[in-house]
A and B are shown apart, each in its own frame.
Chain A
Amino acid sequence: QKEVEQNSGPLSVPEGAIASLNCTYSDRVSQSFFWYRQYSGKSPELIMSIYSNGDKEDGRFTAQLNKASQYVSLLIRDSQPSDSATYLCAVNDDFGNEKLTFGTGTRLTIIP
């Protein structure tokens, strides 16, 4: 049974600070990792994808992957109130299997 674990939160971060979201996964053969943002009542929106160990930066977002530790994180710099949402970590085991396994999500609140 593939598992993706996230701290459910809520995680409260002051506006302008760095928000750090963490995710661990159980399947060592996992190859593709995604972070989705979901506002209440809405569907998920892809924020970042990462495939190799290390950091990947896109604007205020940085994804970090450590396959040896089976750990992926998302950093949000200069947090804004509009970043308040639930962040879902998703994992795909290989390019042949198309299914994503989602974590339960971390609810992030940015405090003005």
Chain B
Amino acid sequence: GAVVSQHPSRVICKSGTSVKIECRSLDFQATTMFWYRQFPKKSLMLMATSNEGSKATYEQGVEKDKFLINHASLTLSTLTVTSAHPEDSSFYICSARKSSGPVSDEQFFGPGTRLTVL
């Protein structure tokens, strides 16, 4: 299988607080994980590529100091939204790419985290 979990599934927080989202690959190792954001009725927008043991690579326009990514192990990556504001409210989805296997460029998505900043 290729199961990816995310926690929490839903979070509501006050403006100015920080929120941490965890992404885990449950039955495979993932050298690379990806973090996406999706606004209502829009497609997925890649925020950053997270590589185990190294710094994340951020897409243009994504503030690395606001969206902190840590990929501490082959099965866990975390995204911390620092000093969250209402405009950060969105659906955050992670995906993981298997480290090995005959087809290693397929990405498997977590169930997503819906963030609402009041």
Contact surface of A with B, Cβ cutoff 8 Å: 32, 34, 36, 42-46, 49, 88, 92, 95, 98-100, 102-105
Contact = CB atoms under 8 A, between A and B. Distances in A.
Interface stretch (B38-46, B68-76, B79-87): B38-46
A102 B44 contact: yes
Nearest to A89: B43
A100 B32 CA distance: 13
A44 B105 contact: no
Which residue among A92, A95, A99, A103 has the maximum number of chain B CB atoms within 10 Å of its CB? A99
A34 B106 contact: yes
By size class, the interface of chain B is 10 to 19
B97 interface: yes
B21 interface: no
A95 B105 contact: yes
Which residue among B42, B107, B111 has the maximum number of chain A CB atoms within 10 Å of its CB? B107
Contacts of B111: 42-43
Contact of B44 (A44, A45, A46, A49): A44
A45 B46 CA distance: 16
Given A44-B109, A45-B109, A104-B42, 18 more contacts: A34-B107, A43-B110, A43-B112, A44-B44, A46-B106, A46-B107, A49-B106, A92-B105, A95-B104, A98-B32, A98-B34, A98-B97, A98-B105, A99-B46, A100-B34, A100-B107, A102-B43, A102-B44
Nearest to B92: A43
A105 B43 CA distance: 7
Interface of B: 32, 34, 42-44, 46, 49, 93, 97, 103-112
15 contacts: A36-B109, A42-B111, A43-B111, A44-B44, A44-B93, A44-B109, A45-B109, A46-B106, A92-B105, A95-B105, A98-B34, A99-B34, A100-B34, A102-B43, A104-B42
B22 to A, nearest CB: 15
A34 B112 CA distance: 19
B116 to A, nearest CB: 13
A88 B93 contact: no
Nearest to B2: A46
B105 A32 contact: yes
